[in-house]
Structure 1
Amino acid sequence: MKKSYLLIVLSIFTLLYSCKKDEKEIAPDVNLAIKADAVEAKVNVKTTFSAGTNNGLPFKHLWKLDGTVVSEAYNYEFTPLKSGTYIIEYTASNTAGSFTHKYTVTVPVPVIETSPNSSKYITTIFEYLPAPGQFINEGIGSPAGAQKIIGDVSKTSLLTLGGFGGYVVFGFDHSVVNNTGNDLAIYGNPIGGNTQWAEPGIVMVSQDVNGNGKPDDEWYELAGSEYSNPLTVKNYEITYVNPKGYANVAWTDNQGGSGTYDINIYHKHNFYPEFAPDQEKLTLKGTLLPSTFGKVGSIFVNTAFDWGYTDSWSIGDDYATKKYNSFDISWAVDKTGKKVELKTIDFVKVYTGQREKGNLIMGEISTEIKGAQDLGIK
């Protein structure tokens, strides 16, 4: 009897041990809170990914973001700082095996939609940093002057950008949509006819991919008619030196060149921007367009390019009819010249595209801007 009882006890113990052993050898049975493969998230908004067990048996967790381990807890809180496509990989493992799941997370560029109260004109000047020029440090070449191009362009306000590279950055109260055809109108003060006076400005655009409302993301050039011209210089840099008084402004560039922007008798003050952050020197970068400065008879001219630049009486842009230069966001290219697809943009930068000192009568070539309009809002 005792022997039979002992055998029964041993059998029960063996059975229980075998069950526990079998349980430990079961691969992770995972319950994912988010089961889909494709997930859409938002910039600066938290999305929580987590994994639990279906049978109560524990296992190890591992979360990777674009190949980098980011968590070994049961969950991972993902807060993207900018738009883009991200890969999140989850792995559960124990001695018996593992379970994996890959998420493709799409984070769209934040978009500020239009409303019935949206303005089609500039609402914000983010930055104004002109190059040296004859009107700099005067009304139309000052930070206060920059604020005056906000709003309806029927105003007579005008902002000068000085010599090559001088720029202004502005935005609207909404994201500008890339519609079919031209999307932006930018107003300047060029002269047409047989004695043209154009001061071509290059236009760049940017998206608020990090959602912080500041123009600190990648910029794209709207490639105009001269973008592929062999005389156009990409990645050009010029450095101006502050003369700290009424004197010619010296410059050097990254092409081995040097020269001056010369003072004249009509503007007896320092041509270097006295509100620039650096009062010793100023380095500006961009695409350098060929000079079109010359004479028609005894009259000095600076002829316009065909299309794609502001403050330019462009034939291909039909400036004579529209009285503004128009731009298509679809012209955007990155810094390598590769075409990019932008559904919307949030910031616009305009800078003087020619490095031309002109003469003592007309002064330097310096892009002027009166305002801008979103052509998508009628």
Structure 2
Amino acid sequence: MKKTYLIVMLGIATLIYSCKKDTEVAPDVNLTIKVETMTSKVNTKIAFAAGTNNGIGFNHQWKLDGKVVSSVYNYDFTPSKAGTYVIEYTASNNTGSFAHKYTVTVPVPVVEITPNSTKYITAVFEYLPAPGQFINESLGSLVGAQKIIGDVSKTGLISLGGFGGYIIFGFDHSVVNNTGADLAIYGNPIGGTTPWAEPGIVMVSQDVNGNGKPDDEWYELAGSEYNNPLTIKNYEITYTNPKGFANVSWTDNQGNSGTYDVNNFHKHNFYPEFAPDQEKLTLKGTLLTSTWGKNGSIFINNAFPWGYTDSWSIDDDYATKRYNSFDLDWALDKNGKKIALNTIDFVKVYTGQREKGNTLLGEISTEVKGAVDLGIK
């Protein structure tokens, strides 16, 4: 009887050990998406999930670019902007683990060119000029800014005021980076022996988050003066509203101060009365050196060789083309690193010089008459 009891107990122990051994196995995972690389779209959900093949559960962990984002069996990923994302899944228990890595590529959204696309500006997104003699007149108003939309032979002219004043516009499609010049921007410079240029710096941006708004990173199209030792990067200027017909004072991040002076041809406040802040206005960008001077008794402002708008540029052959041209291959990020752009969606132009001029001619203020996508004939 004792022998029988021992045999029975040994059998039970063996069965328990066998069952325990069967349950303690590494996760046997069934992934709903089994590939390692994939392409998706901005604002489009990808539903990742992991199940078990043998009915035995385990712990889950999902990481997005190294950060834990889920500890359950599934993870829904919706990219908010273009880029390359790494999603890592790990299943684990006391016996072992299983890992799988996904690389998700999300291209920049592109609005394709169609037979109905126009080469001209179709939208002005923002207009914020710096103080200037034409500001708060038709050439310096929100209504006036909309007049650069459309055929450049019929468009109006908008003034950007002093340094940093800007306008942002776009087309009904993404502008493609082709060989050579991609954009043409029109102004009203003068050439010859009495040149009058009001150089504007051009920046471009892609609609990386696909929301149709110019709220993504900007890239400067570096012109001839980008590496000039006299050019100041990351320049900031703050204008103070005089609240009337009076000189507009300014200070900058270089420890300087000065004024933009009113004149008797424009008897009104030079500070933009539609600016969000009616006390102070801070504008930023790359500051180009002044080219103000005289040719005999005539005041002039010389153009730069190439890469700026509203500038009678010799290298740009403005005399023939009647516009300044820009190549998207010139794009640099805020650190001066070259950026490869296949397309762009938004263009920003701002006054690049801080030159008050005089009370006869007024300040140097870039003016824009329109723009064209050179890729559309």
Please classify the TM superposition score into its range, dividing by the shorter chain length.
Answer: over 0.9
Q: How far, CA to CA, are the matches of 1:69 and 1:241 in structure 2? A: 47
Aligned twin of 1:97: 96
How does 1:1-378 map onto structure 2 within 5 Å? Answer: 13=12, 16-378=15-377
After TM superposition, the structure 1 stretch with the greater mean CA deviation from structure 2, 163-172 or 16-25, is 16-25
Does the CA-based 8 Å contact 1:306-1:314 persist in structure 2?
Answer: yes
1:227 alignment partner AA? Y
* Aligned Cα root-mean-square deviation (Å): 1.6
2:324 alignment partner AA? N
Q: Which runs of 5+ in 1 are unaligned?
A: none
Note the alpha carbon deviations across 1:162-215, whole angstroms, 9 max, x for none: 000000011111111111111111000000111110000000011111111111
CA drift of 1:23 comes to: 1.9
How many residue pairs align between the two structures? 377
Note the alpha carbon deviations across 1:53-110, whole angstroms, 9 max, x for none: 1111111111111111111111110011111111111100111100011111111111
Note the alpha carbon deviations across 1:14-67, whole angstroms, 9 max, x for none: 564344222212111111111111122221111011111111111111111111
1:138 alignment partner AA? E
Distance 1:281 1:21, change over 3 A: same
Note the alpha carbon deviations across 1:130-171, whole angstroms, 9 max, x for none: 001111100010000000000111115100000000000111
Q: How far, CA to CA, are the matches of 2:78 and 2:133 in structure 1? A: 48
1:93 alignment partner AA? S
1:185 alignment partner AA? A
2:148 alignment partner AA? I
2:213 alignment partner AA? K
Secondary structure of the corresponding residue to residue 127 of structure 1: strand
TM, length-normalised to structure 2: 0.96
TM, length-normalised to structure 1: 0.96
Does the CA-based 8 Å contact 1:292-1:303 persist in structure 2?
Answer: yes
Secondary structure of the corresponding residue to residue 173 of structure 2: coil
Does the CA-based 8 Å contact 1:131-1:161 persist in structure 2?
Answer: yes
Secondary structure of the corresponding residue to residue 51 of structure 2: strand
Q: How far, CA to CA, are the matches of 1:7 and 1:113 in structure 2? A: 81
Q: How far, CA to CA, are the matches of 1:121 and 1:127 in structure 2? A: 17
Does the CA-based 8 Å contact 2:155-2:370 persist in structure 1?
Answer: no
Does the CA-based 8 Å contact 2:59-2:71 persist in structure 1?
Answer: yes
Q: Which runs of 5+ in 2 are unaligned?
A: none
Secondary structure of the corresponding residue to residue 113 of structure 2: coil
1:233 alignment partner AA? I
1:208 alignment partner AA? D
Identity of aligned residues (%): 76
Does the CA-based 8 Å contact 2:149-2:155 persist in structure 1?
Answer: no
Q: How far, CA to CA, are the matches of 2:93 and 2:192 in structure 1? A: 80
CA drift of 1:5 comes to: 8.4
Does the CA-based 8 Å contact 1:24-1:96 persist in structure 2?
Answer: no
Secondary structure of the corresponding residue to residue 203 of structure 1: strand
Does the CA-based 8 Å contact 2:82-2:208 persist in structure 1?
Answer: yes
